[in-house]
Amino acid sequence: MSKYQAKDIQVLEGLEPVRRRPGMYIGSTDINGLHHLITEIIDNSVDEALAGYANNVWIFIHNDGFITVIDNGRGIPIERHPTVKKSALEVAMTYLHAGGKFGDGSYKVSGGLHGVGASAVNALSEKMRVEVKRGGLYSQDYKIGKPTTDVVQPPKSDLAEKPREIWDKLNSGTATYFLPDKKIFSTISPDYKQLEKQIRERSYLVAGLFFHVYDERSQIEKNFYFDGGIKSLVEDLNRNKQGLHFPIFIKKDMQNVGVEVALQYNDSYTETVESFANVINTIEGGTHLTGFRMALTRAINDYAKKIGAVKSTEDNLTGEDVREGLTAVVAIKMNSEKLEFEGQTKAKLGNAEIQPLVLTVVKEGLETFFEENPSDARRIIEKTLIAAQARLAAKAAKEAVIRKGALEGLTLPGKLADCQEKDPSLSEIYIVEGDSAGGSAKQGRDRKFQAILPLGGKILNTERARLDKIIQFEEIKDLIIALGAGISDTFNLEKIRYHRIILMTDADVDGEHIRTLLLTFFFRYMIQVIEKGYLYIAQPPLYKINKGKEVFYAYTDLEKESLLKEGAAVKPSDKVSGDVEASASKKRSYSIQRYKGLGEMNPEQLWETTMNPKNRILKKVAIEDAAVADEIFNMLMGEEVPPRKKFIQTHARYATLDV
C-alpha cells in the first residue's frame, strides 16, 4: 500500500458555493448535471484504478433514487487530518477542493472535478453515506453536505442488500451511497443508456478495469471490460463500416505525459474522432486533438511524396482529405494538477504544451507503421487521394453553381417563395414535400416572415454520395442556395438566411423517408444548423374531426381518442376525403378524416394547424450524442446492408403500421 495518508488531503475552502451555484460545478441541474454527479463518484474509483490499486467498480441504480458506487481500492484515509483536526474522510467529503489529487499526494493521474467531486456530490445530495474498508470498517453519514454522525466503526455495513453482498466480500475499498437532492435537480432518475455510454467509455480508457452495472428499475445487469483499450473503442465505432486495415495503435510516454492514439480508415466519407484527457471526454477537442490532426496530415503527405503519389507541395493533401473516412481516438494522461480546461465542465483541453507532444508521438508512430505496413499505407494514401479529387470536383461544382446563378440572374432558386423579412432571426423557411403541398403552403403562409421551398420528391441519399455529386443534385442545390450559407467546409453559419428551418413532410412512409434523407443531409453537411438549434420538424395534424358545424384537429391518436370520449358517432354517409372511421352514438354525429398528405389540406387549414405560430407544434432537432447519431445514420442510410437488416428485424415488432 502506497503512502496515501491523512496529510495528503489538502484543504482550500468550504461547500456553500456549490449549492448556491451548482451549475458552476457540475454544468447544469438537468439530467446531464445528474449524470455528472454520478460520474464524479465513479471517477474517484477510476482514479484508484489509474493509480494501480483497484480493478473493479460496481454501480447500482436503486428504485428509490439512491445510487451506490463501490470499488476495491485502498479506501479513503480515515486518520485525523493534521491541519483541520478532523478525520480525513470527513475533510474529503465536506471541504471543497479537498482531496488526494492536490500537491504531491497520492494521485498523479485523475479525472473528476479537480478534487471537488466527492464534496460537490455531498453538497448536492439529500442524503449520503460513505463506508470505508481500511484495516477495519468505518462510516460517516451526511445531509446536504454536512455530517450527521462522526466517523465511526459500525458493527456491520448499512448498504442496501445487493451492494452489501459484494461489499462484505472485499478487504479494502470505498462504498458511497447517496440520494441526489430533488430540490436541486429537475430529475433524480438517471437515463440508463446515457450513463452506460459514460461507463463504457471509461472501460475502454482504463484497460483491465471491470465495471459492473445494476439497474434495479429495469433489472438490467451489465459488465464492461476491454483488454484492447482505445483500440477496442475504434473497432466499436467502426462496427457498421468496412475498415480498410486493422486499427493502428500508437502509445508513448513523453515528458510525463502518456499519449495513446488508435485510428482506422473505413469506406465512408465522414470523420469520427473522440478525444479524452485523464478519462474525461473532451467533446470540443483541444490541443491534443489539434496535435493529432497536424501529425496525421504531415505524416501522410510525407509518405505520399516518398512513394511518388504526390509530386509537389502544391499538390499536398489537405486536412480535409486525410480525415475522410477516418475513425480515431486520442487520449492523453498527465498529472491532474497540470490539466487545463476551457470551462469548468472540461469540454476542451487547453494545455498548449500538449499539442507538440502529441504531434511528435503520432507522427513518429505513423511513420513507423507506414514503413512496416506498406500495403496498408498505400490503401490509406489511395483513400486520401480519392478524397482530394472529390474535393476539387466539389469545388468546381460549387463554382459552377454560383456562376450559373449569377449568369441567369437567379441568386435564389425559382421554386423558392421568399419572405419579405431580411433579418434571419425573424425569418423561417418551410422545406415542403411535393409541389401540391408547396402550393398550399405558399398560399397559406404569412409572407412577411415565412419562406417556402417545395421539394419535388425524394432527394439524394447524401450518406452514400460524395460532395461533388451532392452539389449537382438539383433539389439539394436549390436548398443550399436558398439557405445562403454554403456547404461542408465552406459553410458559414453567420450567412444563414433563416434561423428556423422547418421540415414539413407527409405523415406516411414516404414522408418519413424524405425527412430522414433531409436529416442525413443536415447532419453530414450542415451540422452547425442542428448544433445552433435552427432545425425543426413540423407536426401537421393526423386527424380532422367534424362535430356538426365544429371542426377539431388531433395531432396524435391519444388526442383523437380524447375528443371521441366527449361523445359522437360517425355515419359512413358522412365520409369526406381521406380515410374515415365509423362508430355509433345516440348523442350526435361526427366524421373523422385521417390526413395522409399535406396536399389534403387547403391553404387555410395548413396555416391554422401547422404554420401559425400561435397554434403549431414544432419539434427542435438536437444532437444528444454525436457518436450515436453517426452510428445510426451510417446504419440506416449507409452501404452496409446486414446492420440495417438486423436493426429492422430487432425493432419490427415495435413499429406502428398505418396501412
Q: Could you report the per-residue pLDDT of 515-547, keeping only the tens digit for each?
A: 999 999 999 999 999 999 999 999 999 888 888
The third-level CATH classification (topology) of the domain covering 412-539+620-654 is: Rossmann fold (3.40.50)
User: Tens of pLDDT along 6-38?
Assistant: 767 655 556 777 888 887 788 789 998 999 899
Please give the helix or strand (H or E) that residue 520 lies within, else none.
helix 509-525
Neighbours of 650 (CB within 10 A): 9
pLDDT at 459 over 60: yes
- Tell me the C-alpha distance between 584 and 558, whole Å: 19
Burial of 386 (0-12, 13-18, 19+ CB in 10 A): middle
Query: Do residues 166 and 57 make contact, with C-beta atoms less than 8 angstroms apart?
Result: no
State the chain's maximal CA–CA distance in angstroms. 90
**Rounded to the nearest 10 degrees, how much is the dihedral formed by the CA atoms of 91, 38, 21, 81?**
10
Write down the pLDDT at residue 317. 95
- CATH 3.40.50.670 residue ranges of the chain are 412-539+620-654
Which range has the worst mean pLDDT, 125-139, 377-391, 448-462, 579-593? Answer: 579-593
Region 230-388: CATH code: 3.30.230.10
Q: How many residues does the chain have?
A: 659
Give me the residue label for grid cell 416572415. Answer: 449
> Is 508 annotated as catalytic?
yes
| Predicted pLDDT at 98 | 60
Secondary-structure class of domain 6-224 per CATH: alpha beta
Residue 118 confidence (pLDDT) above 80: yes
Q: Cβ(220)–Cβ(59) under 8 Å?
A: no
Q: Which of 47, 215, 421, 506 is catalytic?
A: 506
Other CB atoms within a 10 A radius of the CB of residue 543 amount to 21
How far is 153 from 150, CA to CA, in rounded Å? 10
pLDDT for residue 23: 79
| SS3 of 385-439 | HHHHHHHHHHHHHHHHHHHHHHHHCCCCCCCCECCCCCCHHHCEEEEEECHHHHH
- Dist CA 52 CA 74 (whole Å): 10
Rounded mean pLDDT, 48-77: 95
Considering the chain, tell me which residue range(s) the CATH 3.30.565.10 domain(s) occupy. Answer: 6-224
What's the rounded Cα separation, in Å, for the pair 565 and 583?
A: 12
Q: 181 catalytic, yes or no?
A: no
Q: Which residue out of 367, 376, 508, 581 is catalytically annotated?
A: 508
Q: Which helix (H) or strand (E) holds 3?
A: none
Residues facing 266 on adjacent strands:
243
- Percent of the chain with pLDDT strictly greater than 70: 87
3-state SS of 460-507 is: CCHHHCCHHHHHHCHHHHHHHHHHCCCCHHHCCHHHCCCCEEEEECCC
Are residues 25 and 113 in contact, defined by beta-carbon separation less than 8 angstroms? yes
Catalytic residue selected from 141, 320, 510, 574: 510
Say how far residue 222 (Cα) sits from the centre of its chain: 21
Q: Which helix (H) or strand (E) holds 654?
A: none
Q: Is pLDDT of 298 > 50? A: yes
Determine the pLDDT at residue 614: 93
What per-residue confidence (pLDDT) applies to 109?
56
| Known active-site residue 510 | yes
Q: Around Cβ 379, how many Cβ atoms within 10 Å?
A: 14
Task: Match 472529390 to its residue by C-alpha cell.
Answer: 390
Q: What is the pLDDT of residue 115?
A: 40
504 or 405: which leads in pLDDT = 504
- The residue type found at 129 is R
Helices marked H in 206-347: 230-237, 287-306, 319-322
pLDDT digits (tens, 9 = 90+) for 597-613: 888 889 999 999 999 99
Average pLDDT over residues 445-470: 89
Q: What mean pLDDT is predicted for residues 65-87? A: 93
Give the span between the Cα atoms of 554 and 216, in whole angstroms. Answer: 37
Segments of the chain assigned to CATH 3.30.230.10? 230-388
What pLDDT is attached to residue 100?
57
| Residue 405: pLDDT over 60 | no
Inter-residue contact 383 to 324 (CB < 8 Å): yes
Q: What share of the chain is helix, strand, coil (3-state, %, to 5)?
A: 40, 20, 40
Instruction: Say if CB 470 and CB 450 are below 8 A apart.
Output: no
pLDDT at 202: 92
Residue 566 has pLDDT above 80, yes or no: no
Residues in Cβ contact with 632 at an 8 Å cutoff, skipping those fewer than 6 apart = none
* Gap between the Cα atoms of 41 and 225, Å rounded: 19
What would the pLDDT profile of 218-245 be if each residue is shown by its tens digit?
999 999 999 889 999 999 999 888 999 9
H/E stretch holding 93 reads helix 88-94
Interval 465-516: pLDDT, tens = 888 888 888 899 899 989 999 888 788 999 999 999 999 998 888 888 999 9
For residue 489, give the C-alpha cell: 467546409
Contact 140, 147 (CB under 8 A): yes
d(CA 638, CA 636): 6
Q: Is 115 left (phi over 0), alpha (psi -120 to 50) or beta?
A: left
Strand pairing report for 210-215 and 173-180: unpaired
Q: Across the strands, what pairs with 638?
A: none
What tens digit of pLDDT does each residue of 409-429 get?
Answer: 346 788 999 999 999 999 999
Distance CA 527, CA 535 (A): 10
Active site residue 433: yes
Mean pLDDT (the chain) is: 86
What confidence tier does 586 reach under pLDDT thresholds 50, 70, 90? very low
Catalytic residue among 433, 463, 600, 630: 433
